[in-house]
Every structure is written in C-alpha cells, then in structure tokens.
Structure 1
Amino acid sequence: MEKKKVWVVGHKHPDSDSICSAISYAHLKNAINKNEEVEFEARRAGDVNPETAYVLERFGIEAPELVLDAGSQVKDIKIRKTEGVSSHISIRKAWDMMKDQNVATLPVVNTRNKLEGLIVTGDIAESYMDVYDNETLAIARTQYKNIIETLAGKLLIGNEHGYFVKGKVVIGTATAEVLKDKIESDDLVILSDREDSQLLAIEENCSCIVVSNGFGASEKVLEAAKEKEVVIISTPYDTFTAARLINQSMPIKFFMARENFTTFTLDDLLSDVKKTMSEVRHRDFPVVDDDMNYIGMISRRNLLSFDKKQIILVDHNEKSQALDNIDDAEVVEIIDHHKIGDLQTLAPVYFRNQPLGCTGTIVYQMYKENGVEIEPKIAGLLCSAIISDTLMFRSPTCTPVDKMAGEELAKIAGVEVEELAIKMFEAGSNFAEKTVEEILNQDFKIFHAGDIAFGVDQVSAMGKKQLDEVKARLIPALDDMIAEKKIDMIFVMLTDILTESTDLICGGEGAREIASKAYPNATGDDSLWLEGVVSRKKQLIPSFMASIDA
C-alpha cells in the first residue's frame, strides 16, 4: 500500500534555513513517526540559491522536489482502474464489458498502453439505431473472431484471425437460382443447412458462410471450403437473429472518438479539473501521463470526496510566502521563528514559534527533545542554516541559544564554523553568473502594512565592492519587479557581512520616504546607508511597519 505523503516545505524564494530545516525536520518526523501509513517528505517552494546549493553539495544531500502549488491534484483522488481495451474488439463485447463493470466509458489503448480513443454507451446506442448497408461490415474491417463471439458461434473451418474486408452481407433464404445472382466474390453469406446453397456460395467465391440454427456442414462442404479458403461459422441463432446481430461484431475503432476528447494528468489541479468538467458534457475522463500512457478514469463524482494535501510549514507562517492555493491544503504543523502572520487553518494545529535567529535552531532542539541522534549530514545542514540566518552569529536576531546550537552542530558535522561560513557566503555572493531576476528573487519576501504591499530582497556579501557592482545592475530593474509581483514598492538590502551594515535600495512611489522616516539618520543619493542594520526580520521590517502606521 502506498504511504500517505506529508510535505514539509519552506517559503517561496527559499533561503538556506528554509530548505535545510525542511529536510532536517522531515528526517526527524520519519524517525519518530509510529504510523506506518504516513511518510514525511521535504519539498521546496522555489529555486535553490547558490549558497544553499553549495551546502547541499558539501553534505551530500539532494535538493528537495520543487512544488509551487498546494492545491489538490488528480493524484490525490481515487482513480478508477478501468482496464483499457483494444480497438479491435466488437461493439457487442464492449457493451458486455460495460455492463459487467458498470461503466459508461471504455478507454481504447494500443499494445503499448497508449490511449487511442474512447468508446461510450452513446456510441454503442448509435451503432444499434443507425441503419447500415450490407457493405459496412467489410468497410469496418471486421475480424471473423468478432463475428464468432457476437453470434455465440463456433468455427467449423478457416482462420478466425482473418478479416472480412471486401464484399457484402447476403441473407441466403432464396432458391439456388436466385441466390446465385445475389452472391458475388468475397461476400459473407448467412445460410441454413442446405448443402446445395452452401456449395453454391463457395463456388461463387464467397469469403465466409454463417450457418444458422446450430447446423453444421458436411464433409463435402468443408473440403470445398478448405480448398477455396472460405471461413465457415456455425451459430445457434436463427437466420433473422443472426442477420440482426452481425453488425454488432464490427470493431469499436469504427465508432470510437479518436480526437477532441478531454484527458487529465496526475499533476492537474482539481480546481482546473472541475472547471473543465463543467464545460464538457462527458461522464468519464481518462487520466494519462505526459506520454499519453493510460492510467485510469475519473468522473465528477470522484471530486466529491478526496483527501487534501497535508503540509507542515517551516520558516514561515504568512500566506503570501506560502505555496499557492495553501488554503486548499491541510496545514498540520507550523515550525517558525518569525512574527505571527495571517495564515489561517480550519482546525487547531501544532504551532511552534520561538524568538530565535533560525528555524534550524528549533529543529535542533526538537531532535534533542525526542532523543533522536543527529547524523553528521543533518548536523551540517542545520549548522549551515543557522550560519546563514544569523550571518555567522553577527545578526541582532542571533541568540545565545542559536550560537550554542550552531557550535554543537559544527562539532557533530566535523566542520569549522568560520570556514563553512566563508565558503557559503562566497558561493552566495557570486553575482557575476546570475541574472538580475535571479538576484532579486533569491531571498525575496512580500509584506503587508494596511493597504500597502511591499517586497524586501536581501543580498549579502563579504565585502562592499561586490555589493556596489550588483547595485548598479539592480536599480534599473526595480520598476519591472514591482509590476511583476503586483506590489506598491520594493526594497533591496545589500548587506555587508564584515561591516555589519546595509546599503538599502528603494523602488516605487513613496518607498524612500518610508525608509527615511524609519531611519532618519540614514544618508545616500540613490540608496540609504544603514549602519548596524543586517536583519530584515528584527530590524528593517519592524521599523518599516512603525513608519507606515505612524
């Protein structure tokens, strides 16, 4: 039985803490989990930045799978495993299968399980009601095996795997003289047990004889049929019934929908599926993979009851920073170190929020509390998260608990804090190989104060020279970023880790005024120099909120 997946995921535009804490907490949850039907898996809500990529590579950990939406998907609902059928089966067999399985739609697949089309009860009803001429059976390239199955018959002689592809269907109830004028080469003839009529049909080069009323054929007839490769079938039905049923032996490929039918994939969001289903008058819909391999069927009733995705949020608790459609998911836990945000849940959840410098510190504490040994690789991830979020213990958000945890984790991981920090920050400040969009999005968060929505990106480096170079590239791109994110203003913190100061770029109407009001002693022409400001969470955002509310 496939286990229920619970995602452990950080915020959009993830930083090292967001990804490293998600991986580490998922590992802890699996270690203490007593429910064998549940498995915890780390996910990420955005691209891995260079600093985090360095950390993951150094400690030999693969990046979590990327997810952008928390909405329920087709994979989250029950998919009916209606078996795919060949396009060669008869209309009659398709109808029998529908009755046996209590379905209204059969998926038609080829030998490689690729979806070729759909056959529905409406197609079968139409085939029964339409009037077909006596050549349609051949036009449909009907296999003799289908005719045998449809007429509940048995093969007396010939190849049942052959196909009736030329000629017409003839009802042989007339005298031999009249019958001779009716039968042409390659015809299929329905006859009784009259030997003279059977031999006559063979002499006229018919392709198949159907003998009604359960009668057979004499040795003389069978020898003649063998010589001319004529197929002879015996059916228990009378001539009238056999003539009425025989068109039901035509293959479904003659009637099935080959195009303009709607399919879904496992990753399609149910919100999109509902909309599509409301616009299309079909009862059932096939589910396929990206290569059109058939998986199963779903219908509207499958959308009435399904399990929402279960998600644990780490390093955030604001809706704007969470996965898209987070309201469609079931948030079961929140582990964070930021201010309480606007995220709402339908039921009480385990919410652990501590005034620490890093979510990784909280996860470290939880390992200790649960008596779970921290593996060196996990210790390396958590230590890196703490180094990143506290700027190697220099940020005002850093507490003695963070520093103690970081140093203890460094010992377990077998690393030197300063050496690891330098390598991480160097990897993260290699701006030459990044586009402006990548730099602006690598640690970007949106905040709200009253009616104002503003974004703050933080770019850190080990020296002012690197920051000055990237500053010139970022300023012209701010207006486009504001439009893309649909916010009122944007701020970029160019943080010098060594001098513990920030050069603040402001974009958008009123942005510089808000920043200047928050930091009246700041100076600068195209930016504001904020001495001693390195923390977005503890220094910049509280000052901005107070400035906007004042």
Structure 2
Amino acid sequence: MSDKIYIVGHKSPDTDSVCSAIGLANLKKLTGTTNAVACSAGKLNKETSFVLNYFGVPAPMVLEDLHIRVQDLMGGEFHTVESTTSLREAWQIMKDKEQKKTLPVVDEAGKMIGVITIGDIGMAFAERVICEEDSNCPTGNLLPTSVSVASVMHTEGLVSFQEDDLITDVRKKMVETRFYNYPVLDAAGKVVGLIGRYDLLGLSPKKVILVDHNEWGQAVTGAEQSQLLGIVDHHKVGGIQTSEPIYIRVEPIGSTCTIVAQCYREQGITPDKAIAGILLSAILSDTVIFKSPTCTPLDKTTAAFLATIAGVDPKAYGIEMFKASSNIADRTPQGMIEEDLKAFTMGENKVGIGQVSLMGMDGFEAVRADLTAAIEAHRVAQGMQYLCLMITDILTDTTELIVKGENPEEVAKAFGKTLVAGSVELPGVLSRKKQVVPQMTTYFKA
C-alpha cells in the first residue's frame, strides 16, 4: 500500500484550505518529506480556481474519502488467460511470472468468465505427475497443450471485488469464503487486478495532516480511521482526540496560509512566485482584504512579504480575485450553499453555516427565492436543526444571514436581532469564525 501523507483541508473547500494544503505539501517536499500529497476535500470553488489559474498552479488531487479501499492495495504485475489458453501455458505463467497462484479467465473484452488456480491444474492432472524415480519431475512438461483452461476453470460461485470496495467489507467476505486470491473488477466488469488474504496482513491506516480545520465533522469521510500526523489551523480547537502525540500548530490569526508562510521563513526557505501568490490569495480571501476582524498584524506583514515575491499589489489583486468569483449569474443555488459550508455542533443542535462573498448585491434578489428553498431542502437532507447562509457584501461590509431551521427566530436572538423575512441583517459582520460562530455557539449552549 502507498505510504503517502495526504495533506487536506475541510469539506466544501475554500481558498485557504486548498492553498494551505498545496503550500504545506510543497514545503514538506523541499525539506525531505517527498511523499507528501496536497489534496482538496472536494470540487474547487470559482475563487480558488481563479487563484490557481492566475499563478499557474495545478489543481490538487480531490480526496473525499480516507477509508482504505481495494484500489489502495492493488499493485504489481498480474495476468489473465482466456478459456482457450492451454493448461501448460497457464501453468507456465503461474510458475515464471511470480503470479499469484490464481488466474482470472476473461473473454475477448477482458471481462471475467471464470477463475483457475494452481490447485485446479494439479488436481486435474494428478495422475500424470507421479514420477516413481524422480520426485522433482517437471510437472509442466506433462501437461498436454491440447487441454484448455476451459476444461477445469471455475465458472460458478465466483467471488470478486470492485476497485472502490471498502477493505472492511472485503475482510468480512474473505472470512466467509475459502479462496486465497480474488479478482478485482472495474465498473465495466473488466479484470484490473487481484487481491489476496496476505494483502490484508499488517494493514495500516492512511496518513493525513489536516489544515484549516480540526474537527472530524468538517474532515473528509474516514478521517477518524486515518493516522493523524498533524494539524495546522487558525480556528477554535474542536474535539479531536488522538492515541499518540502529534504535531499541532493552531494560531489565532486570519488565515492558515499565514501560518504556512511562517513555516517557510522558519525553515529559511523562500517560496517561489507561484506558491507565494496562492498563499497571499488565501490570506486576502480569509481576511476579506484585511477588513475582517480576524485579520492580525502578522497577516498583513506576511501578505506584504508574499506580495513582493508574487509581484502583485495586495489590494488591487484582492479586488480582482473577489470580482472574478462574485458574479451571481454564474452560480447555482446549491453551489452557493456548498461552496464554503461548515458544520458545527452547538449544544444539542447540528448547525451548518455557509458563506458567499459578493462585490455588491446586484442580481441577488433574482435568485433569492430559489436560494432560500434550496437552503431548506439541503438542511432537511443533511439532518440539520439549522442551516444559515451568510451573504456578505464586501463593498458595504455587511452580511445578510439567511436562516432556515426548526426555530429560526432563535438564531436571530443569538445576535440580539429580529428575524425579518427569514433573514438577519448584520452590519459590520464579515467573519464567520469570529462574528457568527461564537455568538451562536454561546447562545445554543446556554
């Protein structure tokens, strides 16, 4: 199994979660950890895509699941035969190719029609391999070329697995059956490999470093079963527990990428123009071009340092970045909900809070009804007590909080406000982390 270290941000990835993963993985590689892999916990939003394209940085691999699956254990050479293949040839393949002693039998399209094992060949020709004087008689020479695999292959009771099957399910199936090796099929039914009982021996979980979050509820599926190596974040500390000490760096600043940039400087490494550019972009995004109350002096000085390397003016570039991603006409209601959505537990309530940043509210009223309906549908589908969407106007420093839930008036009370047409007006509110989550958490835990 691969020994990769996956560096990944939260679900519904934003620019900070994606760029901090890329930046940290790059630093790890520069300092000797060559198996570090930057990941995105989902599809890139429009802003992040703009940032990566602007600085010519390839999009990271999408990692939405950390469970171990069959495809994670597949590797090495494997062979198949057709039903017309002679037993002698099948034997030779098993003997000479270091093949697992099982051969899937396939048709002309590569789809499995049977299985033959070394035991099947031995049983079929046991009477031919008895040599009275030489117990080391070359068995393969006694197998006639006229007899084909079709005469002894198994075609009933076959057990195979799909590439994306969970290893936990595979293990259970192996306990129930007697085979040593099992064919692996793709979605079209073609054989793509083999997996054996011994592949599961000493199985270790995938290794992961979390960036821009530290709660299992925001992490990719299966993260709880992974080997957590570290956390780099700038949010409140959640409920993650580990069985052994890990590296944790959580700072009360505006962006995880500020921390990553500091890691470069502490290692005496200057990031290249592209990495500096995406780290800067994330700082500008999370601090709303330094206007958010989460912004600290360190965010500003780090941004200035990165901007010099990237060759851009922070404020001018920041405005261009937000404009590129704020066009309502280019977004669907569901996309607006999911593009920056985080889940929280507040008292007894499961709460989702998303955020959409706009450069002015032009065109918003045209989508309000559809968006509001989509918020309620998503809340119900996800089993949330409340789902709130922050519509943040960067030009006026104001947020409209659209609220859907069992008792939406309770959310308004958390801010000392009255719910009007399903929304709460929050002047001066730009930060979910500092101006929305704490107030709601305190209210619902009271």
Q: If the length of structure 1 is used for normalisation, what is the TM-score? A: 0.72
Distance 1:76 1:88 in 2: 32
Q: Partner of 1:11: helix, strand, or coil?
A: coil
Deviation at 1:421, TM superposition (A): 1.5
- Check the 8 A contact 1:80/1:297 in 2, yes or no: no
Say if 2:408 is the partner of 1:511. Answer: yes
Deviation at 1:394, TM superposition (A): 0.6
- Check the 8 A contact 1:467/1:494 in 2, yes or no: no
What is residue 288 of structure 2 aligned with on the other side? 391
Residue by residue over 1:98-118, the C-alpha shift from the partner in whole angstroms, topping out at 9 and shown as x without a partner, is 689796523346799775531
Q: Partner of 1:297: helix, strand, or coil?
A: strand
Amino acid in the other structure paired with 1:44: S
Q: 2:430 aligns with which of 523, 534, 542?
A: 534
- Check the 8 A contact 1:395/1:534 in 2, yes or no: yes
What is residue 51 of structure 1 aligned with on the other side? 47
Amino acid in the other structure paired with 1:283: Y
Report matched runs for 1:288-299 at 5 Å: 288=185, 294=191, 296-299=193-196
Report matched runs for 1:394-473 at 5 Å: 394-473=291-370
Report matched runs for 1:338-357 at 5 Å: 338-357=235-254
Number of residue pairs the alignment of both structures matches: 435
- Check the 8 A contact 2:112/2:190 in 1, yes or no: yes
Amino acid in the other structure paired with 1:6: I
Residue by residue over 1:166-215, the C-alpha shift from the partner in whole angstroms, topping out at 9 and shown as x without a partner, is xxxxxxxxxxxxxxxxxxxxxxxxxxxxxxxxxxxxxxxxxxxxxxxxxx
Amino acid in the other structure paired with 2:430: V
Q: After the TM superposition, which of the residue ranges 446-455 and 519-528 deviates more from structure 2?
A: 519-528
Amino acid in the other structure paired with 1:501: T
Q: Closer, same or farther in 2 for the Cα pair 1:260/1:67, shift >3 Å?
A: farther
Distance 2:40 2:325 in 1: 18
Report matched runs for 1:129-278 at 5 Å: 250-257=147-154, 261-264=158-161, 266-278=163-175
Q: Partner of 2:35: helix, strand, or coil?
A: strand
Q: Partner of 1:351: helix, strand, or coil?
A: strand
Q: Partner of 1:362: helix, strand, or coil?
A: helix
Amino acid in the other structure paired with 1:4: D
Report matched runs for 1:353-368 at 5 Å: 353-368=250-265
Report matched runs for 1:29-48 at 5 Å: 29-33=28-32, 38-48=34-44
Say if 2:4 is the partner of 1:26. Answer: no
Deviation at 1:549, TM superposition (A): 1.4
Q: After the TM superposition, which of the residue ranges 272-281 and 319-328 deviates more from structure 2?
A: 272-281
Say if 2:442 is the partner of 1:546. Answer: yes
- Check the 8 A contact 2:2/2:72 in 1, yes or no: no
Distance 1:311 1:3 in 2: 13
What is residue 220 of structure 2 aligned with on the other side? 323
Say if 2:102 is the partner of 1:105. Answer: yes
Q: Partner of 2:444: helix, strand, or coil?
A: helix
Distance 1:64 1:102 in 2: 35
Distance 1:111 1:268 in 2: 25
Say if 2:73 is the partner of 1:77. Answer: yes
Distance 1:75 1:477 in 2: 36
Q: Partner of 1:323: helix, strand, or coil?
A: coil
Deviation at 1:371, TM superposition (A): 0.7
Amino acid in the other structure paired with 2:7: V
Deviation at 1:333, TM superposition (A): 1.4
Distance 1:480 1:462 in 2: 27
What is residue 300 of structure 1 aligned with on the other side? 197
Amino acid in the other structure paired with 1:71: H
What is residue 158 of structure 1 aligned with on the other side? none
Identical pairs, percent = 41
- Check the 8 A contact 2:101/2:117 in 1, yes or no: yes
Q: Partner of 2:422: helix, strand, or coil?
A: coil
Q: Closer, same or farther in 2 for the Cα pair 1:259/1:462, shift >3 Å?
A: farther
Which stretches in structure 2 are left out of the alignment for 5+ residues? 131-141
Q: Partner of 2:4: helix, strand, or coil?
A: strand
Q: Partner of 2:9: helix, strand, or coil?
A: strand
What is residue 266 of structure 2 aligned with on the other side? 369
Residue by residue over 1:282-310, the C-alpha shift from the partner in whole angstroms, topping out at 9 and shown as x without a partner, is 33102355666655432233213123211
Deviation at 1:264, TM superposition (A): 3.6
Distance 1:92 1:61 in 2: 53
Residue by residue over 1:346-389, the C-alpha shift from the partner in whole angstroms, topping out at 9 and shown as x without a partner, is 32111100001100100010010001111111111011100110
- Check the 8 A contact 1:20/1:381 in 2, yes or no: yes
Distance 2:26 2:143 in 1: 64
Amino acid in the other structure paired with 1:461: L
Deviation at 1:281, TM superposition (A): 4.8
Q: Closer, same or farther in 2 for the Cα pair 1:478/1:120, shift >3 Å?
A: same
- Check the 8 A contact 2:88/2:144 in 1, yes or no: no
Say if 2:352 is the partner of 1:478. Answer: no
Distance 1:269 1:76 in 2: 10
Say if 2:115 is the partner of 1:118. Answer: yes
Deviation at 1:24, TM superposition (A): 0.9
Distance 1:543 1:256 in 2: 68
Distance 1:305 1:246 in 2: 38
Distance 1:404 1:93 in 2: 70
Residue by residue over 1:196-240, the C-alpha shift from the partner in whole angstroms, topping out at 9 and shown as x without a partner, is xxxxxxxxxxxxxxxxxxxxxxxxxxxxxxxxxxxxxxxxxxxxx
Q: After the TM superposition, which of the residue ranges 502-511 and 251-260 deviates more from structure 2?
A: 251-260
Distance 1:102 1:505 in 2: 60
- Check the 8 A contact 2:9/2:212 in 1, yes or no: yes
Which stretches in structure 1 are left out of the alignment for 5+ residues? 130-149, 153-244
Distance 1:122 1:116 in 2: 18
Deviation at 1:439, TM superposition (A): 0.9
Pick the structure with greater CA Rg. 1
Amino acid in the other structure paired with 1:120: T
Deviation at 1:440, TM superposition (A): 0.6
Distance 1:15 1:112 in 2: 43
Say if 2:404 is the partner of 1:502. Answer: no
Distance 1:355 1:28 in 2: 22
Deviation at 1:526, TM superposition (A): 2.5
Q: If the length of structure 2 is used for normalisation, what is the TM-score? A: 0.87
Distance 2:349 2:359 in 1: 33
- Check the 8 A contact 1:80/1:298 in 2, yes or no: no
Q: Closer, same or farther in 2 for the Cα pair 1:103/1:505, shift >3 Å?
A: closer
What is residue 14 of structure 1 aligned with on the other side? 13
Report the RMSD for the aligned CA atoms in angstroms: 3.2
Q: Partner of 1:458: helix, strand, or coil?
A: strand
Distance 1:103 1:16 in 2: 45
Q: Closer, same or farther in 2 for the Cα pair 1:465/1:96, shift >3 Å?
A: closer
